[in-house]
Chain A
């Protein structure tokens, strides 16, 4: 196995250049090294000016998502050995504004995420004396897959709809909305429907399916969106035929 590999890193220094460029660095290629290890090697030994986000190194925090050889990847879970002989081209996540080097701006995603209220909404909390809200394994099974989302935004980087129309609510936000909609303890379905059923909500999705293919946690956002389209259509029908039967 090659003992060194070349990283082609996208550099963007807004105070110096109007557009990103690529810079090459040679890093050790060890069997157990992921792309993030290579980036850390560059930062520590070769060029301290490189900027990128990372935290946990173990596929939980969702902050090290980047474009590796054209594919949205968690760099902590992408092994350098799989790209031998190289080079490995690392760029910031697609479809987001770039602040510096490999760091993208998250504000748009964060606003969309909160707009779907990804938390348990209760019309009325029961008193503590009545105990916890219990759930059977079958009830947990209904939403567990969607609860695995780590907000890494790889699905947004893979989604051409989001790239073409940044107003689109996007895969992760809709999957997380479904995570709470399908939770037996939640009562916020109606409030979320108003956000999700807009043109920029579920109906923006054209089912390309790449969000599901790139998801490192097998959340299947594309499936969540299609399922919700059915729910929203049934709600609309119900409202059309039984207007007095409010949700």
Chain B
């Protein structure tokens, strides 16, 4: 008995292209995206580093001195420099994406994206200034 030709879901003659493992190296926007995802590791390291700093401070002057000499070692210094780059990269790319995710309307009209991004940067600068004033000036 011959079956009538049918439209099959898993058609054996379809060509199914596969994505290369290195797909993210082929476009600038994809590379930036992967770097942004990767930056989460360094953001996490920054948090751990901060917690270590707080612990050292709470244990007294000697512990704090040991911590400072540890952070001065070339390996940690390099790690922290790389982390600084990634944390800034994370923050900047995040703020630049914010206008797409945030739709703010004032009197029925959508606030332009540049304003949303600018207000995020302004809040960042303001909070940084506040923290700097608390620890350095206050």
Contacts and interface: CB of A to CB of B under 8 A. Distances in A.
A97 B19 contact: no
Given A94-B17, A97-B11, A213 B100 contact: no
Interface residues of A, number: 31
Contact of B29 (A98, A105, A164, A208): A208
B100 A209 contact: yes
B3 interface: no
B115 interface: no
A50 to B, nearest CB: 16
Contacts of A15: 13
Of the four ranges (under 10, 10 to 19, 20 to 34, 35 or more), the interface on chain B belongs to 20 to 34
A8 interface: no
Contact of A213 (B17, B29, B110): B29
Contact of A98 (B15, B33, B100): B15
Interface stretch (A27-35, A82-90, A220-228, A236-244): A220-228
Interface in B12-35: 13-17, 19, 23-24, 27, 29-30, 33
Choose among B15, B16, B19 the residue with the greatest number of A CB atoms under 10 Å from its CB.
B15
A95 B18 CA distance: 8
Query: Which 10 residue pairs are nearest across A and B when measured between Cβ atoms?
Result: A226-B101, A14-B13, A97-B14, A223-B100, A98-B15, A208-B33, A163-B19, A138-B108, A97-B16, A12-B15
12 contacts: A14-B14, A97-B11, A98-B15, A138-B108, A160-B30, A160-B33, A163-B19, A209-B33, A209-B100, A210-B30, A212-B100, A220-B100
